[in-house]
Structures are given as C-alpha cells and as structure tokens.
Amino acid sequence: MLATHNALSRSRWARPPTPVVNRRCSRSLWTTRNRHGVKITVAAPQRTTLEPGGLDAGEDTTVLGNLHVDVVHTMGSEVEDDKFEPLTSMWARNAEQHGDYTAVMDPHRSPAVSLTYREVHKLIMEFAAGLKSLGVQPADRVCLFSENSSRWIIADQAIMINGAADAVRGATSPVDELSYILTQSGSSGLIVQDKATLRRLLPALSPGSTPPALKFVVVLWDDATDSSAESEKSAMLDQAGVAVLSYDQVLTKGRSLLSMGSLQPHKSRKHDLATIVYTSGTTGHPKGVMLSHGNLMSQISNFDYFLKVQPGDSTLSLLPPWHIYQRTVAYFLFKCGAKEVFTNIRKFRDDLGRYPPDHFVCVPLVLDTLYNKVMAKLQEATGVKHVIVTALLACSRAYTHANRINQGVSLQYAVTPAPFLVRLWSAVVATLLKPLYQLASLLVFSKVRAAIGVRHTFVSGGGSLASHLDEFYEMAGVTVLNGWGMTETSPVLACRRSHPEVDNVRGSVGLPVPGTRLRVVHPVTHEDLPDGQQGLILAQGPGVMAGYYNNDDATHKAFIDGWLDTGDLGWRAPHNVPGSNMGGHMVLTGRAKDTIVLSSSKNVEPQPIEDAVQSSKFIKHIILVGQDKRELGALVFPAEEFLAQNTSSTDHSSGSSSSNSNNNQLPASPLEDVLYAEVVRLNSARPDYHSEDRITHIKVVHSPLSVDDGTLTRTMKPRRPAIFQKYAAEVSELMQKLR
C-alpha cells in the first residue's frame, strides 16, 4: 500500500518522521510520495520564504492546509502553477462577459431572489471582505452547514476567495455529526443556514465546549440577534469569545473594508486545499475528503467533453449544494454563464413547468419518479386508445433494441460480435418499425417530453441507472447522460456523452474523464484483467483526492499501490470487437465494498444494522440488499434452534407483526412475521437509525451459512459475494419486491 500524504492536512505533527536535510533551506524536512508516485517533501508547519533560485527546474511550491510542500513534478499532464486559474477567477470574468445574464434565482425565498453575474460577483467580494475582517486567512478552514440557496454559493466562493477551505455538510445532518465536523476540521469560522441550525449546535458552542479555533458564527438566512431569546444565546457565545453575525452584517463589514481599497483574491494554486467534503464512514464518524483547487478544476475544465452548455442556458438545482456531484456540475454551469434556479422537493414538479431547464442534474430516483408518473398517466388510457398506446410502446421498444445493434452500441454484443443473422434481422426490424416509432414519437412521446419539462439533457449520477429507465428515456427521445464517480474523485470518473450520440451507450457509465486512468484488476491479486472481464476498478488522475483529513488510516486503506480503490466492480468494453462502437466504455456490475447506495444516492452501511439485528436470539445472520433501490431488503438466516422449533411455520409471506422481546417464549406468529418484527424492532432501536435504513422486505433462508460451502470465513464472518452467488434466486426474488 502506497503511503499517501494525508498527513499534510494536519496543523500539528503528533509524531513526526525522521527528518532529512534539505540543502536549499535551513529547515528539517520529511520526504514521502503522493498517490501518483510524485515526490513530496514536507516541512514544519510554518510558512517559508525560499531564496531566489532555490527551486530546481520543474519544481514548484504549494500549500495544503497549514503546511509548506515542495512538489517535484513527474507527470507532464499537470498544469504549472503560473498558468493555473483557480475556480474563483471565473466570477470576475463572468461579470465582465455575462454581467447582465441571470446567474441565480431563488424563487421560494421571501422576497424572491434573482441575481445577475455582476451582482453575484459583487456580493461574493463583499462577503469575502467581511470574512477577511473577521480574521479568515489563507489555509484556514470554515464550516459551512447549509442547504440549497443563493447565499450558499456566495459563502462558498467567498471562503475560497480568501484562500481558505470550507468544510461542508447539510444543515439537517445529525447534530453529533455536525459537532464532530466543527471540531475535527479545526475551523476558525462557522456559517449556518439559519437560527434553527445554530440552536441545534449551541451545546457544542457553549463556554467550555467551543472548539478552540472558532472565532465567529454567521447566520445566512435569519437576523442572528432579532429576539431576546436569540440575544441570550448570542451572549452565551460572546462568553465563549465567539462573535455571531447575520449575513447582512458580514456584507456591511465587507463594504466598509472595500471602501478603503480593493480586495485582492488569494491566488490559490492547484494543490491548495479548496474544500473538505465529509462523507459517512463505517466507524460512525464522517470522513473528510480533502479536495484541492486542482481537483475541482480538473472536473470543471473537462465537463464540456460530455455536456455542451451555452451562456443563458438554465438548470434546476434540487440536490444538496454540498454534494460534490451537484457542486462541481454547478461550478461548470456557472463557468459557462448558465442560470441556476433553486428548487426543493415540494416545489420541484411545479418548477419544472414554471422554470423549464435546459439541463437537469439529478439522481436515478428523480428519473424513476418521473417515469412512474408518466407511465401511470399513459395507463389511464382506455379502449382503443389504450390498445394504440400499448402497441406503439411495444414497437418503440423493439425498434430501440434493434437500432442499438445496428449502431454497434448494444451491450449484449460489446464483448463478442453480434452474429450475422442477428445483425440482418435487426436491420430489417429497425427499417420496418421506424415509421411506427416516428408515429409514437409524434403521438405519445411528444407529450411525454412536454410533461417531463427538461429541454435538453438529464445528467444522472449518485447511483446506477436502472435499465428500464435507460430504455424508456431513449424511446422518448430524452437525452440522459449517466456518470459514475465518488466524492474521493471530485467526483466524476466516467460519463456518457451525447455528441456524438453513439457515445451515449445505454447501460454503461461512458468514457473516462480526460486525464483519468482506470484499471480493472483481480479483486484479490490486483493483477490487470483484459478488457471485457469483470474486476475491481482502480483510478488515478487529477480528480483523485489528497486523502482524508486527519485520518491517515482511512487514507492508506483507500489506495492500492498508488491507485484509488473505487470499491466498484465492472469491466471495460474491448476496442477490437467487429461491429462494436463501444470500445473503452465502462460498465459497472456491482459493489466490491459493502456500502449500499440507494437510488436517492443515500449511502447505507450494512454492518451496524446487521450487527444490531443479529443480537436477536432468533436470528443467526442477516445480509442486507437494496443497491440502486429506494429501500432495503434482507436475507435472514434464522438461528438453528429457533428454526427447529418452528419447522411447521413455513409461511413465506412477509409480515409486520410485532414481537415482545421481554418474553422468552416465541410469539405465536408465522415464521417470517416473527423474524420481520425482530428485524424492524432492533433496527429502529439503533441510536443512529435513519428513515432510509428501514427494511421493508425480508426473505427467510432455511439453510445456514457455513465455512464448508464458502459462505463464512474461518473467523465466521459472512462472505457476501459467495452468499449472493449461492442464493441468487432468493436475492432476485427479494430485489423484485423492493421499490
């Protein structure tokens, strides 16, 4: 395992390694290599002024966190610092080039907000100056706990303008999680969505509990001191030496500072820390993914390879702004001069009609919801109309499948070529059905496209796209680009593209982002596998994180010989298959890691749930399923004693009966009812239980797991791949029941 440089994020060294002498400066330095094998020399955590000529050719100096770093470049693809333009530089350019274009709309605020690029740039600079007056400096961290709004992007960019990094999370996240992030990040400032968020965090901010680095709190959407109760809270914070200000007060401070001279944005370099994005971990504490300005810009500068955006195009913003997928796509759209309209779940359907977007960033759950509503509407047809609609849908489906084969983009023939007779038959079918498909497009799908409301492109991510959704939107003539990545890769590793259309290979996650390198290796030996063969996918590239903030152990585990372990299984379509135009496209087949990603993009860690449920004396093992579904299901392996006593109760319908845990006798209920009640009771009793953790269906398996059949390790831990293989029929039955 390659030693990565997460230690660079630390403000103090707990136990520094043995120093080596650097001849160019009189300081102790430590040498390591980063994830790409690039040599890194780490100095003590204070700034250093290098003497002229102190660096060799091809070497530059960067700052990450509070540490000085010398980076010896060995990769020619990296942009030199003197040519690097950070994300924040786009606002001045957009104010000049697209000043009168609308940048953001926040229609559900009172009053509604609409800001041009010139106005957004002005507010960002004023807010940045206000933060500077509060003591924010380069390499500081500032926590930003807020949901979607126009003020989120202003606060986010103002922090970066000062050369600081924001530690982000949603305002509705568990308070313990937010308190942990505030302390673990060592933030000098805290920006919260509203007074309700601040109120939840007060115990962590009270005298004696306040993080030592914290200097101020800013409330974005409420007057921080507009009532006696809030004044008392502010007084308590004042006792702890923490100033509490409203958004407007920060702007006022900024204007005052700017009146004495212009604010020069900090010239961030590509390795400078831009943000810490906290993601859920298996240990109970979120992990802080360190992303640099170079990480973010590597995404933003390459998105136009997949998505074409013109100045003035619009988009609806529904996903959380701190979600790195939504965030980097939003940065790209802003760079192009597009308009972002903020919406929410309650207003989303109306806003699709009121503010029809050219492009819409979403998770598969949104596409599934729209699909279900459209299909329910189509199925309302009766009589002859119902027969016509059903026939046109069937013809369109057959035409779509035949056309994929004709174009060489059917995954069925990505590895082995389609037989001649199959290609011939597909050509005949496509020719015969094309008029009917065009009729369906005119009579049915034109209404579908109008009802959906997105004018050009859906960009789907955060979970894999179900094949029936891919098929339906292709039939309807709605462009859906499906991407794949993770927070640790900023996030996009691969994406489908619509120009040319042949590159939008349904069922795949598309081509790698330019500059990104993907390997498919054997999950155990890590030997490279040939194209077309499934294995574990590893990644390198300019979007890959620096590491987890102050978490060396997690960082080391994330890399295999300098390559990031994505935890995903998949294969690459071969280039040399006759008749195939899919060479190089990536196809995902599952998760090597245990994390279950629901269609809402919510990550569920199975282990804590399974551990809690397995505490029942009735249950020996439980294995969660639900990848890309809305909800969770479980294979339940009963305790042998319990099964022996209930062999006559073999009713296989899932139930919701409750059981009395204080009664040593088994409740008189059918087998699955008893077990399901136990699952629900013990799962919901967990202290960190969330509604997304709800298990809606179970399948009882009567044969136990064992070492002999390979479903248990020798330390009696379940082997998930072996279990899913042996009980494939049971898993399939269970998955079909899940929404």
* Beta bridge partner(s), residue 217: 190, 244
In the predicted model, residues of the chain with pLDDT beneath 70 are 1-81, 223-240, 280-284, 647-669, 707, 713-716
Q: Which residues are CB-neighbours of 442 under 8 A, at least 6 positions away?
A: none
E strand or H helix at 494:
strand 492-495
In angstroms, how far apart are the furthest CA atoms of the chain? Answer: 88
Decide if domain 87-269 falls under CATH 3.40.50.980: yes
Q: Rounded CA gap, 314 and 589, in Å?
A: 34
Cis check: omega of the bond before 530, within 30 degrees of 0: no
For position 651, what pLDDT does the model report? 44
Strands of the 28-33 sheet, one edge to the other: 20-21, 28-33, 39-43, 67-72, 59-64
User: Structure tokens of 444?
Assistant: 């049915």
* Beta bridge partner(s), residue 568: 591
**Nearest-CA neighbor of 28 among 42, 47, 38?**
42
Question: Mapping DSSP to helix (H, G, I), strand (E, B) and coil, where does residue 53 land?
Answer: coil
Report strand pairing: 632-638 vs 619-625.
Answer: antiparallel
Cα 21 from chain centre: 42
For position 72, what pLDDT does the model report? 28
Given the structure tokens 């983009």, which residue do they identify?
409
User: Structure tokens of 57?
Assistant: 């050719």
Please state, in angstroms and as integers, the Cα–Cα distance from residue 565 to each residue in 172, 225, 306, 541, following that order.
30, 48, 24, 13
Q: Do domains 359-593 and 603-737 have the same CATH topology?
A: no
For position 650, what pLDDT does the model report? 45
Please state, in angstroms and as integers, the Cα–Cα distance from residue 705 to each residue in 635, 654, 717, 724, following that order.
11, 22, 10, 12
Q: Rounded CA gap, 292 and 545, in Å?
A: 7
Q: Rounded CA gap, 413 and 420, in Å?
A: 12
For position 226, what pLDDT does the model report? 56
E strand or H helix at 552:
helix 552-558
Q: How much is the pTM? A: 0.75
Cα 139 from chain centre: 25
User: Structure tokens of 598?
Assistant: 């629901």
CATH number of the domain at 603-737, please?
Answer: 3.30.300.30
Report strand pairing: 359-362 vs 287-292.
Answer: unpaired
Average pLDDT, the chain: 83
CATH number of the domain at 359-593, please?
Answer: 2.30.38.10
Q: Rounded CA gap, 372 and 448, in Å?
A: 12
The one-letter amino acid at 520: V
pLDDT digits (tens, 9 = 90+) for 218-244: 999 986 555 554 565 566 566 657 889
Pair 240, 210: CB distance under 8 Å: yes
- In the 3-class helix/strand/coil scheme, how is 119-168 assigned residue by residue? HHHHHHHHHHHHHHHCCCCCCCEEEEECCCCHHHHHHHHHHHHCCCEEEE
* Beta bridge partner(s), residue 636: 622, 700
| Angle separating helix axes 671-684 and 606-613, nearest 10 degrees | 120
For position 285, what pLDDT does the model report? 85
Q: Give the domain ranges of the chain.
A: 6-75, 87-269, 359-593, 603-737
The tally of CA atoms less than 13 A away on the side-chain side of residue 631 is: 13
For position 227, what pLDDT does the model report? 58
Pair 685, 662: CB distance under 8 Å: no
Report strand pairing: 113-116 vs 563-572.
Answer: unpaired
Given the structure tokens 């372990």, which residue do they identify?
565
Given the structure tokens 């294969």, which residue do they identify?
571
Nearest-5° angle of CA 129, CA 315, CA 104? Answer: 30
For position 280, what pLDDT does the model report? 67
**Nearest-CA neighbor of 282 among 607, 553, 592, 692?**
607
Pair 461, 491: CB distance under 8 Å: yes
Q: Rounded CA gap, 347 and 125, in Å?
A: 31
The one-letter amino acid at 501: E
Question: Mapping DSSP to helix (H, G, I), strand (E, B) and coil, where does residue 487 land?
Answer: helix
For position 533, what pLDDT does the model report? 95
Q: Rounded CA gap, 103 and 105, in Å?
A: 7
Q: Which residues are CB-neighbours of 57 under 8 A, at least 6 positions away?
A: none
Phi, psi torsion values for 421, nearest 5 degrees: -65, -35
For position 664, what pLDDT does the model report? 36
Torsion of CA 558, 563, 565, 570, to 10 degrees: 180
Q: Rounded CA gap, 625 and 606, in Å?
A: 9
